[in-house]
Structure 1
Amino acid sequence: MNRPFRIIEAIRGSLRYKLLVLVLFPILLIMPIALGLAIYWGSQFSYEQLFIKVNTDLSVAEDNFHRLQEDYLNTLGRLAESYAFYTALESKSGLVVNAQLAELQRSAGFSYLHLLGVDGKRLFLSYGEAEKRGHSSPSLLVALQGHPRVEIEIFSAEALDEQSPGLAKQVELPLIDTPRARPTVQRIEGRGMMIRALYPVKNSRGQVVAVLDGGVLLNANFKFVDTIRDLVYGPGSLPKGSIGTVTVFLNDVRITTNVPRTPNQRALGTRVSDEVRTQVLDDGEKWIDRAFVVNDWYISAYQPIIDVNGERVGMLYAGFLESPSRNALWQALGVLILLFLALMLFSSILSISGAKSIFKPLEMMMAVVRATREGYTKRIGKISSMDEIGVLANEFDLLLDLLQERNLQVQQWADQLEEKVDERTAELKLKNQKLVTTIQILRETRAQLIAAEKLAALGELTAGMAHEINNPTAVMLGNLDLLVEELGDNATPVKGEIDLIIEQIFRIKDIINNLLQYARPDEITETPSVIDVNEVVQHTLALVRYLRKQKQFEIRLDLNAARPVKINPHELQQVLVNLFVNAVHALDSSAGIISLSTDDWDEKGVVIRVEDNGMGIEEEQIEMIFNPFHTSKRVGEGTGLGLSVSYGLIKKYGGDITVRSDQGQGSLFSVWILQEPDLMEEETALMEQFQPTEQPPEAASSSVGQSKQSA
């Protein structure tokens, strides 16, 4: 498994191997590719030439096939138009006519030869012979109209015996199981394929008085296929050892052929392969390709034979044995491969010899470099080569001598410099320690100044605002008391609204006191008490009902907290009002939803969640939302103190406020309240507001999981 990696590492670490790879890579890669392409192209080209030849052979065989048919027709024409035949026919001398027909049948090789009348019946029958009609076909009808015709026709066994007794027995052919042939249950082929020539005999007025009907049976007609073969595959047309063959098929059965099944036996009764039958007989297309013929592969060409009815009834085949051509091809390719290998070997030897003159001086230089690195003194010596590498090697020795001299000088200077560096280092260490301490103090002081500056500005602003708000609220409260006193019992119908106004005025005073507490954390406000957070949530909703007049939204409650907590209820209500108002402002104009939920927080306290499906908060804004005066609202919609005050109130009791927001999907604020408060110094709580917001470790997992439940 590691051998290929070791070879790669050796190549990467050695110049010798790199040079050899660079030199041999084109030879070992390009030449095999060229050889492969040559073999592929040569075989493809050779087979293309073989297919072109066999296609030409089939065309020649087809021409001879049709020419022989025309010859038979012309033979009948010469008889029909001869004076002797015409005179015998005019004199109605049946013996003379029959004698001429018999002589022509014998000499021309007709399987049968008859003279038919215009009614299609045979003329001049022998004494006692029953009246017979000629085999009916479209060709006969054409001939009776005065047009010579020669076509291929298929005769059944009965039709053969009608034409000549014994023909049916002559064509009877047992089928032989043949590899790759289509399965069949037929065992004997008893039909005959006939070249049927019909020539009209006309009188002096040009009228048809008779028809010469002659047929040549192709079944077992070896002379027919051998004649075509000798014309197509003459001497010297094929490689040595190859044989050319021609076959006539009836359907897919060889009825006459010179394809051998054994050395001394023709392959009569064997059948064509199924793929050839499908393409030629079923689809009516030519086959020009390799084909398995009886027991070997042949370069083959097939085409369908069409009978007088326009149907595919058989095939004409021409082809020759593939193995001699294939062997000749492989011999040529073998010679080509040997030439390529010899050329590659010669090129490799020549390339390696040339590469040695390059990497030998370089290896000597590398040996000197290693020795020098280990502290030994070694030189390359005289290099006989005068090329660039040889000159570089000689100059390399001079460079090493000069370098050795310079090293001695540098060592002396280094010894002197080291003494001075030690002295200076001791001084810098002492100064550096003092500098680090000073920088740390400056950083702490700067942070305290920034926080103090912010708090001072906040205190001044808050004090002024509290003074301006307390005066109107005091006037409002006094006038309400006077109004109740003046109305007396008449104030009873609106007593609830008056009490609510008074309650909210006192709430304004509490908020002002809280704002003053934010600005002056040393002042203590109302002490905490044990409360039910669900009741505080319900009271808070009553205070923010007016917001529905500004924007339509849906409120969803899920109050599950069962644990009481200790906190100032007014401060908690202030926090919830701030969060609810912010949620309303974040909603779109329609389809707004605000969810308020409460749950127990493990064994520590409770968590209150306020979630909206509004615009969300930008990621870079989340770290600053609890800072005083930071706001993303438009001018006039907020001061930026709501979340800052809320954060300080909850932090004072040891709790926390966390936020999670996806821009465009909404925000989730979680208020974590301890059951027993862990009171924090106000200054510490305020300073935390200026740090990036983070979830408390104990709240992180709970806020993520339970926020999904509330949503």
Structure 2
Amino acid sequence: MRPLTFRRKVFLYFSSAVLLIGAFMALLGTRMISSTVRREAQDRVTMDLRSARHVYNSRIETMRLSLELLGESIDLNRIDRLAERLERKMEELGLDFLSVCDRNGRVIFRARPPHLTGDDRSSNPLIRRALNGELAGGTVILPREVLQREGEGLAERAYIEFIPTPKAKPRPEKAETSGMCLMAAAPIRSPEGRVTGAIYGGILLNRNFKLVDEIRDIIFKERWYKGKELGTVTIFQWDVRIATNVLRGDGERAIGTRVSEEVYNCVLLHRKPWLERAFVVHDWYISAYEPIFDPRGKVIGILYVGILEQKYNDIRNRILLNFFPPLGAGILIVLAFSYLLSHDLSLPMRKLVLGTERIASGDLDYRIEERAGFAEMKQLMDHFNQMAQALKEREEQLERTNEELRSVNRNYMEMLGFVSHEIKNALGNMLMSAYNLKEGYAGELNEVQGRMVDIILRNGERLKDMIKNYLDLSRIEKGELEAHKREVEFNEEVLRPVVEELKGQMESKGMRLTVQTPEPFKLIADPDMLRTIMDNLISNAIKYGREGGEIKVIGAEEDGRWRISVWNEGEGIPPDQLPRLFNKFTRLDTGGSRRKSGSGLGLFITREMVEKQGGKIWAESEYGKWAMFTFTLPKEGRDEA
């Protein structure tokens, strides 16, 4: 395939950039507009739900105040003479039942036929509060038996058979027999102010379409949008629609249908509001649900408000239609400019393009010999030839220098490895002899001799760690560090041996170790490298941690990788030292007491070993409080990007 000319490339690059920017702007604009419109819809439905709740609560408050006034005018000794008045009041207040009970909670009058009396209602929390002299109101669930005594027709109206509903949470029941009511109660007092009884009344919400339609008409000024209901209101008893203006496909109200399992879990189980788009019967609505509580604080139902999503989709589409034409015109103008610019640039640049291709291919002897037609171009070509000559000379000098450096480095690494290995052998014999002395194999030591042996052991172990670091550095520099991965049980094969080895150091500083890893915690890694990594990180935590402080080892599996952290209390890491922690020969200076001893290679080697296994490592700290080193390893042997 013939390569593109410089002019076409420039135009292609410009046009691609313009189109990408245009596409990005279009996508960003679409997302921002959609997000803004959607947020506006959610704000609207949230406000509508708040308004619905206000109407709902105001109905309860109206009942409470009305019953308070009514209770002040009742004389229980003349209750028979008040029957006609109470029946009339029940109708005026729009109540489904209105009853009076004595000071013991026993019903002595009911306004709704068949006017049954004699049952004890003191167990109802609202009535009990009224008998204690309080004005009470709220939402309650009344069993079928209570509804039958409160008045004829109420139990039948409350009975709702469940209609199979997609995505609803399974329930063993087939129908709802109890009723959910708005209820209020007020005390009845004697002229002396003593509570002699209570009056209570309520509105049965089951099939109470008047209430939900009233709430809808109050909060939605526009009822219809393109022949569809703009807003809907529903009251649920637990998860069943008992009062709604949502219509089924046959035009009937969707009584008996149930809420989805997602809303069920959020609102009924977790007691939280739910705000999201939902498909209601045959249209998408921006929906808001919030729990309804009884006087004891138990969730017994849901209040729902939904607004037709299509209206906001149409608003979004109109905005987008006004947004795209100017954007498209701007893109076309920039494309035309790009074409003219690429044409003007291509004419004087052809020779330079050929020269740069030759230089890029490695021909540093190539020079442009043609004469330029104008001064600026001649100057550019002369500079190009000078650059080519300088590149050739620099390349030759760099090659000689690099070869010398490679030779010196090889010799240095070989010497470092040899010396470290020899010192390691001698040091091992010395440490073994010192441990034998400490254990008393050569006779019991006195206190001074014991302290001197401890000093030898402490410094010998530190020297052994430094030699190990230098040997690891030698392997790294010579490219001999390789990861041999296999399945490793982190707790048993890695963490426990390291902790056992460092146990004495932790106890000497009074530090405690907390392990937060799964059991078992299996991962794919090089066990030797992993032990070295954990040894370096926990050793640092002990070295720089606060005496008597805590060290945490935290391990978990997340997002297709293993994540392990070592956290410790202490002075932390100054922010200016975080970027260079993992460099060679870097020692942490916390600005506190004397500087800690060490080779300054531990974190460098740790990083190399983590990256050799395809992982990443980093440090975090709150200076003066804590520090944490975290590394991740990929699952299934894949390197992390």
TM-score using structure 2 length: 0.52
Aligned to 2:26: 35
Aligned to 1:16: 7
What amino acid does structure 2 have at the position aligned with 1:15?
F
RMSD (Å), alpha carbons: 3.5
Contact 1:361 1:393 in 2 (8 A): no
Question: Distance in 1 between the 2:139 and 2:133 partners?
Answer: 19
Question: Distance in 2 between the 1:195 and 1:129 partners?
Answer: 21
Aligned to 1:60: 51
Aligned to 1:595: none
Q: Deviations over 1:277-335 (max 9, x none)?
A: 10000111111122333443321111111112221111111111223322432443344
Question: Which structure has the larger Rg?
Answer: 1
Distance 1:131 1:395, change over 3 A: closer
User: Which residue among 84, 91, 95 is the counterpart of 1:110?
Assistant: 95
What amino acid does structure 1 have at the position aligned with 2:78?
K
Superposed, 1:69-88 pairs within 5 Å as 69-82=60-73, 86=74
Q: Deviations over 1:561-613 (max 9, x none)?
A: xxxxxxxxxxxxxxxxxxxxxxxxxx97999xxxxxxxxxxxxxxxxxxxxxx
Give the CA deviation at 1:22. Answer: 4.2
Aligned to 1:299: 286
Aligned to 1:276: 263
Distance 1:165 1:300, change over 3 A: same
Gaps of 5+ in 1: 1-5, 368-378, 381-388, 400-586, 592-711
Superposed, 1:122-133 pairs within 5 Å as 122-124=107-109, 131-133=118-120
Distance 1:293 1:241, change over 3 A: closer
Superposed, 1:551-630 pairs within 5 Å as none
Question: Distance in 1 between the 2:61 and 2:164 partners?
Answer: 35
What amino acid does structure 1 have at the position aligned with 2:264?
R
Distance 1:236 1:353, change over 3 A: farther
Aligned to 2:146: 159
What amino acid does structure 2 have at the position aligned with 1:43?
S
1:97 and 2:91 matched: no
Distance 1:56 1:19, change over 3 A: same
Distance 1:390 1:325, change over 3 A: farther
Give the CA deviation at 1:190. Answer: 1.2
Q: Deviations over 1:203-257 (max 9, x none)?
A: 2211112211101101111111111112211239989956111111001001001
What amino acid does structure 2 have at the position aligned with 1:108?
L
1:44 and 2:31 matched: no
1:180 and 2:180 matched: no
Contact 2:8 2:342 in 1 (8 A): no
Distance 1:121 1:344, change over 3 A: same
Aligned to 2:339: 352
1:10 aligned counterpart, secondary structure: coil
1:218 and 2:205 matched: yes
Q: Deviations over 1:330-353 (max 9, x none)?
A: 443344334323321232123213
Question: Distance in 2 between the 1:265 and 1:337 partners?
Answer: 42
Question: Distance in 1 between the 2:9 and 2:324 partners?
Answer: 28
Aligned to 2:133: 146
What amino acid does structure 1 have at the position aligned with 2:248?
R
Contact 1:247 1:258 in 2 (8 A): yes
Question: Distance in 1 between the 2:174 and 2:373 partners?
Answer: 89
Q: Which has the higher helix share?
A: 1
Gaps of 5+ in 2: 355-369, 383-424, 430-641
1:212 aligned counterpart, secondary structure: strand
What amino acid does structure 2 have at the position aligned with 1:260?
L
Question: Distance in 2 between the 1:296 and 1:394 partners?
Answer: 68
Distance 1:240 1:364, change over 3 A: farther
Question: Distance in 2 between the 1:249 and 1:281 partners?
Answer: 11
Question: Distance in 2 between the 1:104 and 1:33 partners?
Answer: 66
Contact 2:348 2:377 in 1 (8 A): no
Aligned length: 369
Superposed, 1:204-353 pairs within 5 Å as 204-235=191-222, 243-262=230-249, 264-353=251-340
Structure number with the bigger relative contact order (C-alpha 8 A, sep ≥ 6) is 2
Question: Distance in 1 between the 2:84 and 2:116 partners?
Answer: 17
Question: Distance in 2 between the 1:589 and 1:364 partners?
Answer: 68
What amino acid does structure 1 have at the position aligned with 2:288?
A
1:351 aligned counterpart, secondary structure: helix
1:309 aligned counterpart, secondary structure: coil
Question: Distance in 2 between the 1:590 and 1:91 partners?
Answer: 105
Aligned to 1:375: none
Distance 1:210 1:130, change over 3 A: closer
1:261 aligned counterpart, secondary structure: coil
Contact 1:303 1:317 in 2 (8 A): yes
Give the CA deviation at 1:178. Answer: 1.3
Contact 2:225 2:311 in 1 (8 A): no
TM-score using structure 1 length: 0.47
Q: Deviations over 1:137-174 (max 9, x none)?
A: 12211101111101211011111101112211111111
1:45 aligned counterpart, secondary structure: helix
What amino acid does structure 1 have at the position aligned with 2:29?
A
Distance 1:201 1:366, change over 3 A: closer
